[in-house]
Amino acid sequence: MSRPSITTAILLALTISIVHGPPAEAGKYGEIIASIKTGVFEPYRIGVDNFIVKDPTIPPAVKAVVTKISDIVRDDLEFTYLFVTRAPDPEYLKVFGVERLGLYDWEKLYVGYVLTGEVSSDENESIIVEYTLYSVHKRLKPAKLFSRRLRADQEDLRLLAHSIADDVYKKITDLNGVFRSRIAYSHRDSIGKEIYICDFDGHQPLRATFDKSIDVSPRWASADEISYTSYKRNNPDLWLLDMRKGENKRISSFPGLNSAAAWSPDGSRFAVTLTKDGNPEIYVFRKGAKKGKRVTFSDGIDSSPTWSPDGKYLAFTSDRSGTPQLYIMDVDGDNVQRLTYKGSHNDSPAWSPTLDVIAFVSRSDNGRFNIWTITTNGAYLKQLTSVGDNENPQWSPDGLHLVFSSNRLGILEIFTMDFTGKNVRRITWNGGNANPSWSPN
């Protein structure tokens, strides 16, 4: 794969955009979370019709990809577990002798919403999609909720479909979807480890680094920037890859370890583990600054920082008590409080961007590593995984999903699951994949 491919793909992602409003209010979000936790949530039921070709003169190459759009939209909505989707029932069409379902027909299939779409192309054979969302609640006249029009090149078909799914998801739930987000991870090859990026569902993996070294622990600094630790200069330095500009520069290169970087929610600061003063300690830097502030002071190992959603606190791992445990402190290092007391080895905290919980890895008595969550006041513990070794949890931007690495199938791969530990999905397939990180929207 050529070096410009990753930059090109990211820039293309920026060309298809639907403007979303501000984040959903806590009330709507909290209502959905509470209903999921108590098991009373009723998924939204939506019929996604097969998109049709509007222009009979459309080129065969474009016509061949039309049906994939509605399939991708269905898969996206089903991923969230907030939706149950229906496609046109061939038996229904056959019995009633129709080629397409009307809005009243969809109502009989027990859906509350219907998405339809028409596809055409321009002189460059780009894809143009006009799609409409309807409400078809029983006993009410079908109502149009909105119509949109998007254009994309054929190679951006999946991105176009993800954008449609994001639009539908936002309209129905009032929440921002994750369908255009991406996941970065470290992949082991025959030479070392490189950073790769894929869509949130694992499709379209692209190689982001070509260092021919050991590149690990990618973390998103922004939607276009990834930091990672690399040994390519014979020291574990911290690098920042700007995919929009095609630039890659060292941002922390102190002697010894420069690792486990975590970026503040606004991207203005990063916390990193350094060993320049002896044992591993956590430092906080302003982006672009050469000098940071040391915020941990213990005789043990302090590592794996993660930021609170408001940027005021850091959770981290420390063995200052004798075993690795989770702690929370103010971002300047004050008011350190221990969070975990159960388990003899707790590590890799990841603070949810929306929920008042922290995901982490705990080693069980049988030696297996599993992912747990704990509320930030330590009041509630929940085990999410139980098969194989499961590590490196990181949250989706909406806080409803986690990405993690696991060897549950015999090789190390990347998986996603919802915040309750259900709906586990494998998103990589070639082995040697770890250290995932989920991009912001």
* Closest by CA position to 163, among listed 271, 73, 288: 73
Last residue of a domain, one of 156, 173, 190: 173
* Residue 335 and residue 432 in one domain: yes
Three-state secondary-structure class, residue 425: strand
Mean pLDDT in order along the chain per 10 residues (441 residues): 40 37 54 82 93 82 84 96 90 78 86 94 88 87 94 93 97 94 97 98 97 98 97 97 96 96 97 96 97 96 97 98 97 98 97 94 95 95 97 96 98 96 96 98 83
pLDDT confidence of residue 257: 97
* Closest by CA position to 419, among listed 162, 75, 26, 34: 34
* Residue 134 and residue 281 in one domain: no
CATH of the domain at 46: 3.40.50.10070
CA–CA dist 46, 135 (Å, integer): 9
* Residue 274 and residue 320 in one domain: yes
- Which residues in 85-118 are b (16+ Cβ under 10 Å) and which e? bbebeeeeeeeeeeeebebebbbebebbbbbbbb
Phi, psi of 154 (to 5 degrees): -60, -35
* Residue 157 and residue 186 in one domain: no
CA–CA dist 129, 101 (Å, integer): 19
pLDDT confidence of residue 396: 97
pLDDT confidence of residue 37: 78
Phi, psi of 131 (to 5 degrees): -130, 150
pLDDT confidence of residue 89: 82
* Residue 211 and residue 109 in one domain: no
Query: Which residues is 116 bridged to in the sheet?
Result: 132
Q: Where are the beta strands (DSSP E) in 331-400?
A: 337-338, 346-351, 357-363, 369-375, 381-383, 390-395
* Residue 164 and residue 121 in one domain: yes
CA–CA dist 267, 183 (Å, integer): 17
Type and span of the H or E element at 148: strand 143-152
pLDDT confidence of residue 9: 43
- Could you tell me how far CA 412 lies from the centroid of its own chain? 19
Last residue of a domain, one of 139, 173, 207: 173
CA–CA dist 369, 347 (Å, integer): 10
For residues 197 and 182, the answer to whether their CB atoms sit within 8 Å is yes
Three-state secondary-structure class, residue 10: helix
Show the CA angle centred on residue 268, arms to residues 258 and 226, nearest 5°: 55
For residues 286 and 268, the answer to whether their CB atoms sit within 8 Å is yes
* Residue 56 and residue 154 in one domain: yes
Instruction: Give 214's DSSP letter.
Output: B
pLDDT confidence of residue 20: 30
* Residue 347 and residue 396 in one domain: yes
* Residue 92 and residue 196 in one domain: no
For residues 178 and 199, the answer to whether their CB atoms sit within 8 Å is no
Counted domains in the chain? 2
Phi, psi of 389 (to 5 degrees): -100, 130
CATH of the domain at 205: 2.120.10.30
Three-state secondary-structure class, residue 126: coil
* Residue 158 and residue 214 in one domain: no
Last residue of a domain, one of 154, 173, 192: 173
Say whether pTM exceeds 0.85. yes
* Residue 168 and residue 64 in one domain: yes
Structure tokens at 24: 């959903």
* Residue 429 and residue 295 in one domain: yes
- Could you tell me how far CA 239 lies from the centroid of its own chain? 21
pLDDT confidence of residue 388: 97
Three-state secondary-structure class, residue 120: strand
pLDDT confidence of residue 92: 77
Domain of residue 143 covers 5-173
Sign of the CA dihedral 76, 416, 413, 426?
negative
